[in-house]
Amino acid sequence: MGKRHTPYYYPQMRPPRRESRGVVKGLTWGALFGLAAIGYSHAISTGGEARTAVPSASSTPKPGAAPQASASPGATQKAEKRLVVVIDPGHGTPAAGTKDARDPETGYKMADYKNTPETTEVYDVALLVKKMLEGSFDVHLTKKFVDEGPSLRVRAERANAFHPDIVVSIHTDHTQPNTMQWVTPQKVGQTRGITSAADGTHQLTFTDKKIACISNAYAEQIASTRTAASGIPAQLHDLNFTAKKDDGSITNTINRAPGNISWVQLLSQGDTGAPWVYNEFGGKKGSSETTELSADEKQAYATGVANGIQAALSSRDSIFGQCQ
Ligand SMILES: [Zn+2]
């Protein structure tokens, strides 16, 4: 933190979360209301395009601060902010005309795609996780409805705009049996993109040591609770993304950049980033690759993830101590 790892994505500086919480706690109500007014107008002004929802100033409180500040002074004890969880259910249908859009920063296609039955079942799992956690945390999703198909960059920006303490992606893979229970943290050195003589370097690398350290610790917690909830061992596992076509030119027909980290995780680093844990669960039933998870399987997946988030955030202070 504090270093501009990827300046062209993340030019803004932000103080450590714990410090800013302490500051808010110590403020008078007048000052808090003033801060909240900033947060409120920020929330309003960024309520449209997710692309503009990235926080614009280091001192700007997260939009979620607004409702607290509009409460009566008698509610002082509620000034202690709840930790923020963002759940990212994978896939959806890209809006008309956006399927082949290229990300303006990288030149790569970041449109998500409809995957059946994954899209609907992971949305169901995300809603179950939200339901289990929202009594204790502020919980948000990166999607507004099941068939929405925000680009991977929009997902990352939506998540990061909430200033989350943890983000968790939920996916299933119906080409694999349920022994596939992968939990994937961000790691320093993971990368997406290509370098070509014709087009130069179009590669982005994860470099944030602190977020990687926290992400790994959170992933270990989630692997443990997913194992307990399903009875099937979950393990930390790296991802691998291959380019569908790669002739060395990003101006041609590469659908997605090759590499070993999901775009959403890669785009969440630096001062606006967050520890982001990606989950996969094998959904193949016998020879069928299209049978949706059963209600019990969805519940076990959700319970494992929700318990993992709870455990991770319960250990947050000690993990932060180890991840300087
Ligand atoms: Zn998926």
Q: Count CB neighbours of 241 within 10 A.
A: 14
Task: Tell me 84's DSSP state.
Answer: E
Distance 280 CA to ligand 1 centre (A): 7
Q: Are residues 279 and 177 in the same domain?
A: yes
Residue 216 has pLDDT above 90, yes or no: yes
For residue 5, being part of any structural domain is answered with no
The CA distance from 309 to 229, in Å, is 13
Q: Which two tokens stand for residue 137?
A: 């945390």
In a shared domain, residues 113 and 181: yes
The answer to the question of residue 8 being in a domain is: no
pLDDT at 49: 29
Pair (164, 239) in one structural domain: yes
Q: Does residue 189 form part of some domain? A: yes
* Domain encompassing residue 56: 17-79
Q: What is the pLDDT of residue 254?
A: 55
Q: Is the pLDDT of residue 117 over 80?
A: yes
CA dist 122 and 70 (Å) reads 35
Choose the final residue of a domain: 79, 98, 114. 79
Is 4 inside a domain boundary? no
pLDDT digits (tens, 9 = 90+) for 17-32: 433 333 333 333 333 3
CATH number of the CATH domain containing 287: 3.40.630.40
Does 160 lie in the same domain as 44?
no
pLDDT at 193 over 60: yes
Together in a domain, 201 and 283: yes
pLDDT tens-digit profile of 66-84? 333 334 444 445 567 899 9
Q: How far is the CA of 236 from the centre of ligand 1 (A)?
A: 17
Ligand 1 center from residue 323 Cα (angstroms): 29
How much distance in Å is there from the Cα of 171 to the middle of ligand 1?
A: 4
Return the DSSP state at 306. H
Measured in Å, how far apart are the chain's first and last C-alpha atoms? 9
Q: Residue 68 domain-assigned?
A: yes
Q: How many whole angstroms from 25 Cα to the centroid of ligand 1?
A: 40
- In this prediction, residue 113 carries a pLDDT of 84
The structural domain count of the chain equals 2
Strand partners, 279: 170, 183
Answer yes or no: are the C-beta atoms of 271 and 10 closer than 8 Å: yes
* Spacing, Cα 13 to ligand 1 middle (Å): 32
